[in-house]
Structure 1
Amino acid sequence: APMTFSDVDKRHRTIDGKIAEGESYTVFSLWDTFRAFHPLMTIIEPTQNQAYIRSLLQKYDEGGILPKWELWGNYTGTMTGYHSVPVIVDAYMKGQRDFDVEKAFEAMLKASRFDSTYNFVYHDEIIKEKVMPMAKYYNDQLGYIPSDLENESVSKALEFAYNDFCIAQMAKELGKEDIHKEYLERSKRYTQYFDKKTGYMRGKLSTGGWREPFDPRYSRHRKRRLYRRECFP
């Protein structure tokens, strides 16, 4: 969960390597916390949760993209999705809006799309590829993520779809109807991975067929597989 990053004099190191003053937080392990911690905070500590959102937007200003897993003033690119999005949208939809809403919406759109210019701060090629994975490129260009071209394709695709649904809801509230329609359609891409015959979400190949052989009991981390399991029931 997030912790205070500012020193006693409010100084802290920014993502782009500078020293700044003001409120700042770190350890945004969002793949873990967007599901329960942040929704709970909207109920029991909404003021603090909005401070976390302002810190996420601060890191967007500093580094050029919303964090998906920030640690000690650095992008790590760890895990999947762009889960700053549901944290922001959940608060906004509950009327907790003590942050720059237009900037937040701009940042969410940028986080959801593949940026071939890599116009954000990164310290090495490994971080660069994690922060802007090819999964986003395939999702943008093909409308799905081929499991023979990208690791953990189904896990990434399902989380992208959920994040896109969140963006669609906020777009609707903001009166941005074209973006609402676009992202609502993007959110439906999860249906491409559902195999009616087996009842599982499965990896699809670049040829359009299912990944074979299929064993719902098989479990292996990475190597063109899913996070945690080969498939999802």
Structure 2
Amino acid sequence: MTTDARRLSAPELERQRRRAVAAVTAGLSQGRVPTMFGVSRKTAGVWVRAYQATGEQAFPPQRRGRRMGECLALSGEQQDRIVAVVAAGLPDAAGLPHLLWTRRAVTELVEREFGIRISPATADRYLTRWGLTGPREYVGDGLVVRWTAPRGLHALVAVTNRGLVFFRAGRLPFDVAQLVDFRNRLRMQLAREVTAVVTEWPAAQQQLLERWCSADRNVIAGLSLG
């Protein structure tokens, strides 16, 4: 099932365009674009031809969003504490009943640490502020996976096409065992088999991505290297 690109917001549309163009340029068949990126083959063809003709000019500049408000439930020190716990390990190691960090796991951690109850929507705003979430993208039944580097951390972030966010973070780069464990935890937490579609990855770790794909047939590289 494909998604009408006209229904996407401007930022979502640009992200989809960049991912699809990067994947096709890297050798992905345009016939696989509808399944992986949720847009029609015709739309993907238009995007690729525009990029071939004009390069970066094919991607419209994103509008600058509003800055996060200053009135926050957590102080700067409290936020640093939460990020430190998240970076120290997985939630089950921190004594929480979750295999990966989620909005709910973060709300439970905040309440345990500070006695402050925040809503999942507020947790999502904090995750956005900390760089530990990502936009919803459409890759069929797969999950979009990104390796990002927010706040001096390394983060693996998986987002379903329904907007559910799962992540782990650490101070050091990930290794193959941690990558394999990440998808296994996704599978167990969602109680179903999942395909990880990698759309963002550090260029310096390309060989590691290739090793992950070789070790796990349910990992697909359809990405741009950052």
Same fold (TM over 0.5): no
Q: Could you say which structure has the higher helix fraction?
A: 2
Calculate the TM-score normalised by the size of structure 1.
0.32
Calculate the TM-score normalised by the size of structure 2.
0.33
Higher relative contact order (CA 8 A, sep 6+): 2
